[in-house]
Structure formats: structure tokens, C-alpha cells
């Protein structure tokens, strides 16, 4: 079940060529673009069950985005693999596209039509040397309400894990190129968003770098395995929120994608104190709405000024 956050009523829904544009408006101007249920903008954190069927996946995501917009959200977060989750290496590669392909074009059109910002949390993007090496990026794309790409982050930490006895064996690096660098936090209608993808969640260096660069919201769209999700998902998300004093929004995959893979679910929203504001559960697709209260963020950082207490870089490297 997905909860409408900040003590609002419950909302649950069921569902099954572009250039980079930098938005240069001020935070106050951007905020005016967003329809709000109160003084705080609404973000929507989605949970889906992607399969190798790209058309069905788009239809399911589109319904969730439309439901979120109808209820006042001005930015909607979709998980890693929102486009598809393949059942084999070859299928994963064959279904991939360039940024100029049909999938991103359709989402750009959806953003324009609904006048909503979109976080597309893990797109299978064909790499620069696709014709010679057939490798892809795992790319997190931000679209503005005009359908322009305003930010792209390519996942830097790849999930190469063999959990003996837990049924987890994945080697993302077999077909994925690691991203070369972090992407600056991007100003959006809900605040300044720092981008990660799934396994990046386990590396606090990334979240702290984004916080130093001005991030107010961290987002980790994911497809966590059932085993790792049950053990680590919530505690990691809360830790990233607490140590950075940021909101953390984590869209998620849930349920069985095909015979070989299932995801944990529990799309989550966490506030800067580490309090879980909403949890979509581990059973079905849906969307949770969260009010992004920047006064709460400012109060948390004022009352416990962790960033001011941080020592110089040489202190942390003094052990060699």
C-alpha cells in the first residue's frame, strides 16, 4: 500500500534527437510551475513491475504519472529499469536504445502534455561505442515540464555480486559501462535534486559529494533484489538521509519481472531527520505522494549543523 504523505489521505493505484537543456530559472520561479496541495510542492514516488514488454511497461508508467499529476504532483520519480527488465544479457542489449530513440521521446511527450517533471531512473542507453562493443549505460534522466533533458547521470557503481546461498548472482559490468563522473545536483520544482541509481546507495561518498554541492533531495531509483532489499534497503536509505540531512526519494521495482528475477519493492520517501514518510510495500505497483517541506530541511540543518562540524579533507585522509 502506498501512503499519501504528510498525514494526507491514502492514495493507491494499480498499474502494470533530444538535447540537454539547463534550466536557469530561480528556485522561486521554478516553484510557481508546480500545482501544490499546500505550501509545499508534491513529489510522486512510483513503484512498478517492469518486464521485457516495453509497450506494457510504458502503459503502466504512464498511468501512474497521470494519476500523480491529477493529484497535484509536479515531479514524478520512476525506478531503475522503468523501460524494461530483460530476461537475458542478449535480450537486455537488444532492447536498449539511444537517448534519441522512441522511449525517451515518448516520455518527453508525456512530460510536455502533463506539464510535469520526470525522473527516469535507469534507462538502458546504448553506449558511445555500441556498434563495436555492444555495451550500455544505466542512465538516470531528468526531464523538465517541456520535455527537455536537463540532466543525465550514468550509474557509476555497477552491481557485480554473488551472494552464496541467497540466490543472488548478477554481474552488471558484463554489459554495462560505468559512468565517468557525478552529475551536479539539478534545480527542480521540488528542490535541488542529486542523482544516483540503485547500487550507488551503498556508497556514502556519492551522497556526501552531492550534499556539498548543494543537494536538498537525493534520489536512488532502484531494482533491489529481494534478499538485499529485506536486509539493507530501508536502513541504507535512512542512513543517507540522516548523514546528508536531505530528503531521500527512492522509486522501486517490485515483484516478478520474469522467471529469473524479482525485486523487493518498498518504494520509500525519507525526510532529513531519517523518518520514513511513505512506503509502497512489497506486493504491488503504486505511487506515493510526499510533501517536500524545505522548512523541515532548514530546521534540521540549523539544529544539528553537521556540515559546519565536518573537518578539513586532510583530517579524513590522515590514516593514509
Of 125, 131, 127, 122, the C-alpha closest to 157 is 122
Structure pTM?
0.89
More confident residue, 37 or 96: 96
pLDDT tens sequence across 78-129: 999 999 999 999 999 999 999 999 999 999 999 999 999 999 999 999 999 9
Q: How many residues does the chain have?
A: 320
pLDDT tens sequence across 238-258: 999 999 999 999 999 999 999
| pLDDT band for position 18 (cuts 50, 70, 90) | very low
Q: Are strands 136-143 and 149-154 parallel, antiparallel or unpaired?
A: antiparallel
- The predicted model gives 23-30 an average pLDDT of 43
Active site residue 198: yes
For the chain, give the mean pLDDT.
89
Report the number of secondary-structure helices (H) and strands (E) in the chain: 11, 16
Burial of 95: CB neighbours in 10 Å, binned 0-12, 13-18, 19+: middle
Rounded CA gap, 317 and 202, in Å? 20
Q: Which of 61, 155, 216, 246 is catalytic?
A: 155
Active site residue 66: no
Confirm if 155 and 122 have CB atoms less than 8 A apart: yes
Q: What percent of the chain has pLDDT over 70?
A: 87
Of 263, 255, 190, 261, the C-alpha closest to 222 is 263
Active site residue 246: no
Q: Which of 34, 46, 61, 80 is catalytic?
A: 80
pLDDT at res. 2: 56
Beta bridge partners of 289: 44
Sheet holding 186-188, edge to edge: 186-188, 191-195, 217-219, 247-250, 268-270, 276-279
Other beta carbons less than 10 A from residue 303's beta carbon = 9
27-316: CATH superfamily: Carbon-nitrogen hydrolase (3.60.110.10)
Rounded CA gap, 180 and 214, in Å? 21
Can you tell me which residue has the cell 542523482? 195
CA 16 to chain centre: 19
Domain map of the chain by residue range?
27-316
pLDDT tens sequence across 166-204: 666 678 888 899 999 999 999 999 999 999 999 999 999
Q: Are strands 261-264 and 117-126 parallel, antiparallel or unpaired?
A: unpaired
- The predicted model gives 277-286 an average pLDDT of 95
| Residue 202 per-residue DSSP state | G
C-alpha dihedral sign at 188, 191, 195, 201: negative
Q: Which of 198, 216, 246, 280 is catalytic?
A: 198
Amino acid at each position: 500500500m502506498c501512503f499519501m504523505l504528510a498525514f494526507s489521505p491514502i492514495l493507491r493505484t494499480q498499474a502494470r534527437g533530444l538535447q540537454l537543456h539547463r534550466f536557469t530559472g530561480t528556485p522561486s520561479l521554478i516553484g510557481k510551475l508546480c500545482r501544490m496541495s499546500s505550501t509545499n510542492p508534491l513529489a510522486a514516488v512510483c513503484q512498478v513491475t517492469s518486464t521485457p514488454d516495453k509497450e506494457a511497461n510504458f502503459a503502466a508508467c504512464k498511468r501512474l504519472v497521470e494519476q500523480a499529476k491529477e493529484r497535484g504532483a509536479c515531479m514524478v520519480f520512476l525506478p531503475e529499469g522503468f523501460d524494461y527488465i530483460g530476461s537475458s544479457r542478449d535480450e537486455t542489449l537488444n532492447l536498449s536504445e539511444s537517448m534519441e530513440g522512441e522511449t525517451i521521446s515518448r516520455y518527453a511527450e508525456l512530460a510536455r502534455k502533463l506539464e510535469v517533471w520526470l525522473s527516469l531512473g535507469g534507462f538502458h542507453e546504448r553506449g558511445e561505442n555500441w556498434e563495436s562493443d555492444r555495451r550500455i549505460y544505466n542512465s538516470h534522466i531528468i526531464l523538465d515540464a517541456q520535455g527537455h533533458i536537463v540532466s543525465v547521470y550514468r550509474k557509476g557503481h555497477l552491481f557485480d555480486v554473488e551472494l552464496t546461498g541467497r540466490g543472488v548472482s548478477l554481474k552488471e559490468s558484463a554489459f554495462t559501462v560505468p559512468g565517468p563522473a557525478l552529475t551536479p545536483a539539478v534545480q527542480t520544482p521540488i528542490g535541488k535534486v542529486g542523482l544516483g541509481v540503485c547500487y550507488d546507495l551503498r556508497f556514502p561518498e556519492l551522497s556526501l559529494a552531492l550534499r556539498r554541492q548543494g543537494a536538498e533531495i537525493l534520489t536512488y531509483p532502484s531494482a533491489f533484489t529481494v534478499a538485499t532489499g529485506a536486509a539493507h534497503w530501508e536502513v541504507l536509505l535512512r542512513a543517507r538521509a540522516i548523514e546528508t540531512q536531505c530528503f531521500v526519494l527512492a522509486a522501486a521495482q517490485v515483484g516478478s519481472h520474469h522467471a529469473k528475477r524479482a525485486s523487493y519493492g518498498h518504494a520509500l520517501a525519507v525526510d532529513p531527520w531519517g523518518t520514513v514518510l511513505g512506503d509502497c510495500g512489497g506486493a504491488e505497483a503504486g505511487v506515493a505522494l510526499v510533501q517536500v517541506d524545505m522548512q523541515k530541511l532548514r530546521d534540521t540543518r540549523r539544529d544539528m549543523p553537521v556540515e559546519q562540524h565536518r573537518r578539513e579533507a586532510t583530517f579524513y585522509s590522515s590514516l593514509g
